[in-house]
Amino acid sequence: MPRGPCWDASMTGPCADFPLAVALGGWSAHIGRLCGTLDMPQPEQFRRVGKFELHELIGEGAMGAVWKAYDSVIRRYVALKLLSRAGRTADARDRFLREARAAGALQHPNIVTIYDLGESEGQLFIAMELVDGRDLSSIIALSEPLALERKLDIVIEVLQGLSYAHERGVIHRDIKPSNVRIASDGSVKIMDFGIARLQSVDATGSGAIIGTPTYMAPEQITNGAITPATDIFAVGGLLYELLAYHKPFEGETVHGVLYQVLTTDPKPLRTMAVSIPAALERVVAKALNKVPEDRYDTARQMQSALFSIRAALSGASDATARISLRWTPIPSAVLRLVTHAPLKWRAAVLTTLMATALVLLYVSRSPSPAAAPSPGLESATLEQLLTYPLPMHLNSALVAQRDSALAVRERAQRAGAMKNNVPSLILAEAVLQNAERALRSGDVARAASGYLSGIPQYRKAQTEAEGLRQDAQQAIMRATPVVHALATRPEAGRAATSLARAESLYNAMDYVVSRMAGRSACYCRISSVPSRPNGSGTCKC
């Protein structure tokens, strides 16, 4: 019998007395308000798929629909993706399962989390994290005024998530603004690994073109090899559109767009967004190169390029801080490193800072007669100096020394030296900054000496960062069995949260805090097991 508007689940049929039903309903609502449960979903009002109640259709795609659903067991809202009945062939079903397994293996702050995978009465589903916020496409559509720094931050976070996925053999293949979610707390999440493909597996097998035309790389259109460079091309298109509020490739038809992608370069970005730095235009152009081998080798490499531009922009807007520190020969960026140094490094940092002061005082009091300071050099940060044009007719030996110093600096950065503010980095950055300043001032001898002095310091910084990475890795490895052993204890949730945070920080190269989080997971074991004389209650993390 169909349930009418006055159905009472506690009865066997419709209410005979409609006013009484209304009165009972009003009293029930009053009780709900008092108990704070009025917003709890009522199971009989919604279609169910297994333990999930479908509340609101979020969107539909080629493979199915996505619903806002309520998990009645865990009692939380999720995004539930359902495989459409029209596409429920064996091939579509297998691809749907591959999507879930590929995305479910990814645990990263910038990737939507997969909670569950299953099948209910023939209906395949994936339960995913429901991200409260807005798609990047809605921000672009409204041409909302975002600061350039914020735009770069968004794309840097996208690249962080992609870098994590690529390192695990997963390629998204459909990066676009509607698949990038800006959460209410400002964090960025990549959604819909629905056409993700493991590098070692040919997931489609049919030669079908999969993706969104405006953001598809040429190799996707021509059925070429799909590699991480495919996602980098899409990120280039996304960044172009975010900066210019204009798509890089447009046409009246799908085929027209595909033709543009294959044969035409986008309009120069600075003709669309005149205020952006030339260096940023070069980054976008490199990412949108039609030849995969000529793009960035990795997402992390493109992220590093954007991070350098972002750092230069921050330095340019921090004039007040630089003015307040102008009395000292130590650059303000170096002093900021000291204030952010971990406690365990503080003594070593201060010792290094004293050595740095002596070095800088010595070199600043013995300038070359040919030196001619240029306006702005004294207040420029290192990142700004690196973007300045080089003087003409430089000695090839000096160029080689500079290239060597920059190369070893990049290796130290990739190892996490800058992220973790290791002590040797302070002296290295200060020496390189003064070498760059001397080069632009015409003091070639002092510049050469600075490059040669900075190289061993950057190597030492790289070694220190590697040591921190190993410490964090060992803390995580030791904490993992502890968390598993606490599975049935009250401390299990806290320990698992600490371990997950440690792993997330490790992936973000924040090794110092990662190690602390790993040790925190071990301490949960200590608090749950009384100390014994033989020391079995101690932690060796």
pLDDT digits (tens, 9 = 90+) for 102-152: 777 888 899 998 888 888 887 888 888 898 888 999 999 988 888 899 999
For range 16-29, the mean pLDDT: 39
Give phi and psi for 20, each to the nearest 5.
-65, -40
Helix (H) or strand (E) holding 47: strand 47-49
Q: In what order do the strands lie in the sheet with 123-129?
A: 47-49, 52-60, 64-71, 76-83, 123-129, 114-120
Given this model, what pLDDT does residue 418 score? 86
> If we measure between CA atoms, which residue out of 449, 377, 386, 389 comes closest to residue 413?
386
Other CB atoms within 10 Å distance of the CB of residue 315: 20
- Average pLDDT of span 203-228: 76
**Marked catalytic residue, from 8, 71, 94, 174:** 174
How do residues 420-468 score in pLDDT, each as one tens digit?
Answer: 888 888 888 889 989 998 888 888 888 888 899 889 999 999 999 999 9
The separation between the first and the last C-alpha atoms of the chain, rounded to the nearest angstrom, is 63
Task: Give the whole-angstrom CA distance, residue 437 versus residue 449.
Answer: 13
The pLDDT confidence band at residue 347, using thresholds 50, 70 and 90, is low
Q: Is the pLDDT of residue 21 over 70?
A: no
Residue 331, CB half-sphere, CA atoms under 13 Å: how many? 27
Q: What is the mean pLDDT of residues 215-234?
A: 93
CA atoms of 230 and 354, how far apart (whole Å): 48
Q: What is the pLDDT of residues 516-532, one digit of tens each?
A: 888 887 776 555 554 44
> Which of 456, 447, 505, 449 has the alpha carbon at shortest distance from 476?
505
* pTM over the 0.85 mark: no
Find the DSSP H helices in 105-147: 136-141
- Note the pLDDT of residue 373: 46
Quick one: pLDDT at residue 357?
55
Residue partners of 59: CB distance under 8 A and separation at least 6: 65, 66
Give the pLDDT of residue 181. Answer: 92
Give the pLDDT of residue 105.
80
Match 């309903």 to its residue by tokens. Answer: 25
- Residues 470 and 430: their CA atoms lie apart, in Å, by 27
Please check whether residue 102 is in contact with residue 145, taking contact to mean a CB–CB distance below 8 angstroms: no
The C-alpha angle with vertex 474 and arms to 472 and 478, in degrees rounded to 5, equals 120
Assigned fold of 45-129: Phosphorylase Kinase; domain 1 (3.30.200)
Residue with tokens 């994936």: 126
User: DSSP string of 480-493?
Assistant: HHHHHHTTTSTTHH
Q: CA 171 → CA 66, 165, 238, 284, distances in Å?
A: 21, 7, 16, 20
Crossing angle (nearest 10°) for helices 278-287 and 299-316: 170
Whether 174 is a known active-site residue: answer: yes
**What are the residue boundaries of the structural domains of the chain, listed by start?**
45-129, 133-315, 323-463, 468-528
pLDDT category of residue 381 using cuts at 50, 70 and 90: confident
Residue 221 CA, chain-centre distance (Å), reads 27
Residue with the two structure tokens 């040429």 = 218
Does pLDDT of 501 surpass 50?
A: yes
Q: Which sign, positive or negative, has the C-alpha torsion 215, 314, 164, 413?
A: positive
**Which one is predicted more confidently, 48 or 373?**
48
DSSP 389: P
Q: How confident is the model at residue 34 (pLDDT cuts 50, 70, 90)?
A: very low
Per-residue pLDDT reduced to its tens digit, 255-298 = 889 999 999 999 999 998 888 888 899 999 999 999 999 999 99
Q: Write down the CATH number for the domain with range 133-315.
A: 1.10.510.10
pLDDT in tens, 64-110: 788 899 998 888 999 998 877 655 677 767 776 776 777 778 888 99
Q: CA 103 to CA 99: how far, in whole Å?
A: 6
The band of 356, judged by pLDDT with boundaries at 50, 70 and 90, is low
Q: What pLDDT is recorded for position 314?
A: 67
Residue 25 scores a pLDDT above 80: no
Percent of the chain with pLDDT over 70: 70
User: Other C-beta atoms within 10 Å of 141: how many?
Assistant: 12
Average pLDDT over residues 188-213: 58
CB 109 within 8 A of CB 187: yes
User: What confidence score (pLDDT) does residue 38 get?
Assistant: 39
What DSSP character marks residue 111? B
| Pair of tokens at residue 362 | 């010595």
